Amino acid sequence: MSPTLLRTTVIAAALMALFAVGCAKKGVTPPAAPPAAPTSPTTPGTPGTTDPGTTTPGTGGTTSTAKASDLRIVYFDLDSYAIVGAAQADLDANARILRENTALRVTIEGHCDERGTVEYNLALGQKRADSVRDYLLAAGVPAGQLATLSKGKEFPAAEGSDETAWAKNRRAEFK
């Protein structure tokens, strides 16, 4: 028994060390609330009111008219599932819409560019969908509104084998 335990402990320690390195290298969003996540956007879009200039003009406070297609597509860097740069602002906007439209349930679809193997991209697509879900949860969106799905590299938004096409294909969509 104890050698097995010892071995498990050693492996666990090694894994944790690797894990730390992996995190540092990839710049992965930490599992807790991302530091950049807006906990309460204070601007006009507080729950129950209409956010002027966005999706529900003139509905006078009703909250169920937003559609999944109103949510912004989020883009990723190569081989990455970190939410950085413009993706943060896009997800902040999406979070606001989701919080204001509690009946809106969406599936977050993670996609990849054509580089990388089929198998790896299936996992990477799931990671991207999960990253988006985690960010939205941290931004106050109820878990019941969010499901995730990986589409791997099977459904490119743009055909082509250049950086322009690849950049459009490394994405998370809302369906």
Partner 1 sequence: MTLRPLHRFSLFAILALALVVPALADDVRLDIRSGASSRLPLKLTAFTPAGDRDAGATSVQADEVLAADLRNSGAFTVARAWEAGGAAAAASAQAEVGGKWTQRGSTIRLTGEVRELPGRQVILTKEYSGPAARWRDVVHRFADDIVLQFTGELGVSATRIAFIVQDGRTKELWVMDADGHDPRPLTADRSVAQSPAWSPDGSLLIFTSYRGGGGPQLWVLSPEARKPFLLSGRPGLNTGGAYSPDGTGVLCTLGIDGNAELYRLDARGGSPQRLTTHRGIDTSPCWSPTGREIAFTSDRSGVPQVHVMDADGGNLRRLTYDVSYTDSPAWSPRGDRLAFVVRTDGGFDIWTCRSDGTNTTRIVAGGSNENPRWSPDGRHVVFSSDRDGKRSLWVSDLDGASPRKLDTGGRKAMSPAWSPRSGATSSR
Residue numbers of the site for partner 1 (CB under 8 A)?
2-3, 7-8, 11-12, 14-15, 18-19, 21-22, 25-26, 28, 31, 79, 115-120, 122-124, 126-127, 130, 148-150, 152, 154-155
Q: Could you tell me which of 174, 169, 16, 31 has the C-alpha nearest to residue 97?
A: 174
Taking the complex as a whole, the smallest distance from the CB of residue 78 to partner 1 amounts, in Å, to 10
Taking the complex as a whole, the smallest distance from the CB of residue 170 to partner 1 amounts, in Å, to 15
Taking the complex as a whole, the smallest distance from the CB of residue 129 to partner 1 amounts, in Å, to 9
CB 112, CB 105: distance < 8 Å = no
CB atoms within 10 A of CB 135: 24
CA 91-27-9 angle, to 5 degrees, is 120
Taking the complex as a whole, the smallest distance from the CB of residue 56 to partner 1 amounts, in Å, to 29
Element (H, E) at 147: strand 146-152
> From the centroid of its chain, how far is CA 161?
24
C-beta of 53 vs 119, nearer to partner 1: 119
C-beta of 97 vs 106, nearer to partner 1: 106
Taking the complex as a whole, the smallest distance from the CB of residue 144 to partner 1 amounts, in Å, to 14
C-beta of 44 vs 79, nearer to partner 1: 79
Structure tokens at 126: 């799931």
DSSP per residue, 60-108: TT------GGGSPPEE--TT-----THHHHHHHHHHHHHHH-TT--EEE
C-beta of 115 vs 168, nearer to partner 1: 115
C-beta of 3 vs 58, nearer to partner 1: 3
